[in-house]
Amino acid sequence: MPDTPTAHRPLLSASGLSLERGGRELFSALSFEVLPGHLLQIEGANGAGKTSLIRILAGLSRYGFTGSVTRHAPLLYLGHQAGVKALLTPRENLAWHVGGEGDYDDERIRDALARVGLYGYENVPSHALSAGQHRRVNLARLYLSESPLWLLDEPFTAIDRSGVLDLENLLVEHVERGGAVVMTSHQALQVTYEVRFLSLLEGLRL
Amino acid sequence: MSAPGTLPFCLRLLRRQLVLAFRRPIEIGNPLLFFAMVVALFPLGLGPAPEQLSGFAPGILWIIALLSNLLTSDAVFRSDFEDGSLEQLLLSPQPLFLSVLAYIAAHWLVTGVLLALVSPVFALMLNLPVQAVGVLVASLLLGSAVLSLVGCIGAALTVGLKRGGMLISLLILPFYMPVLIFGSAAVQGAVTGVPAGPYLAILGAMLCLAIALAPLAIAAGLRISVDA
């Protein structure tokens, strides 16, 4: 973690988060902070409330829970759905993305697509791509993004083994640059970086 | 690198929506085909007497324009909702009010404006007097923009439902009524020689009101639909 004054300012802080769904308490009084350099993995079984938590952190869920979330930095959220339009090419999907994060020229987009293994597919209609390739088009946004905080919901779904390896390296690069990642996954990350775990029942643990 | 300006972003959204629409031409053609079919059926039902048809023409043309708008407004946000793009739009650093206006503008261009442009042909089929055709086009241009704005409120509220089609009609048809009344009255006025200006001015006022208020309702509706 770089030793700068901003290194200890949280990118995201959550306090006292509680959520109840269908009469069942998913988590209660969950408080934590995400600092630059944190690689945080949310743990929990299927239906434990991981996706609900990450949607609350992103600001997509605004009702039905108690507690508060403060976001101090721009964030990039990648959810279950790829958000890739079948009628647009991968290049158009990224250049005209509704996320409106930045202006990307063709070269940057080509580079980003090459990094996710879609070199040569820039101008192929996306309906000709497989589900895994759709996910990869979406992951290319991580290479373009300048948001310090990434919220990733199951980023490894439908990604092949080499893609998972690339993605793990990218996540480490990002946190080493002073960004932060909050992610859900059932796989253990194979990285040589300190991964923090957030258990929905027990809270933050190392 | 910083986020793009608001105006370039909205133009980019508009372009995206238009490209998406033109890559699926059947979606653009459907309302026009619907318009043509109903216009062709009316003389068979009402009888082909030219005077009778020209009396009914303003009302017929406006009702069909309204219904074909109703048919298409359901789909404005649906595919974006289903593939997750809508979530990204809501999280975008850009003002949602203006992004929503870009979506509506694209919808209006491929439904309302196209209908208004081809309406003179259908007006002649129904024997509408030639002096009323200009007012018909003007009233359809103004009125269909209001219809798109109002229709998108219903679309935003029902986008999370599997079968929102019927509900959307119930929700927004009452708000379509004033547009229908003043729109067809403008054309009727032009047929009978009454100045159509005041009617068009009222349609214009409705448009201003809708531009100012509808995006707020749509933005709130989208947030609720994505949250649920």
CA distance B188 to chain A (A): 42
CA distance B14 to chain A (A): 10
Looking at chain A, the whole-number percentage of residues with pLDDT higher than 70 is 96
Quick one: tokens of B99?
A: 């992004």
Secondary structure of residue B198 in the 3-state scheme: helix
Number of folded domains that form chain B: 1
Assess if residue B81 is contained within a domain. yes
CA distance B228 to B223: 9
The parent domain of residue B57 ranges over 6-227
Q: Is any Cβ of chain A less than 8 angstroms from the Cβ of B83?
A: yes
pLDDT at B107 over 50: yes
Assess if residue B1 is contained within a domain. no
CA distance B126 to chain A (A): 38
Instruction: Read off φ and ψ for residue A12, nearest 5 degrees.
Output: -155, 135
CA distance B165 to B180: 20
Tell me which residues of chain A, numbers 122 to 161, contact chain B at a CB-CB cutoff of 8 Å.
146
CA distance B59 to B127: 13
* Mean pLDDT across A88-93: 92
DSSP assignment, residue A205? E
Sort out which chain A residues have CB atoms less than 8 A from B86's CB and list them: 98
Assess if residue B56 is contained within a domain. yes
Could you read off the pLDDT of A110-166 as tens digits, one per residue?
Answer: 999 998 988 989 899 999 999 889 999 999 999 998 899 999 999 998 888 898 999
Q: What angle do CA A171, B94, B149 make, to 5 degrees?
A: 135
Assess if residue B89 is contained within a domain. yes
pLDDT at B1 over 80: no
Query: What residue type is assigned to position B165 of the chain?
Result: G
Asked if A38 and A73 touch (Cβ cutoff 8 Å), the reply is: no
pLDDT at B224 over 80: yes
Report CB contact under 8 Å: A88, B19. Answer: yes
Instruction: Kindly indicate the confidence band of residue B2, based on its pLDDT and cuts at 50, 70 and 90.
Output: low
Report ipTM (2 d.p.). 0.89
Assess if residue B123 is contained within a domain. yes
Report CB contact under 8 Å: B88, A77. Answer: yes
Could you read off the pLDDT of B66-104 as tens digits, one per residue?
Answer: 999 988 888 899 999 999 999 999 999 899 999 999 999
Sign of CA dihedral B99, B102, B107, B112: positive
Secondary structure of residue A203 in the 3-state scheme: strand
Residue in B with minimal Cα distance to A94: B16
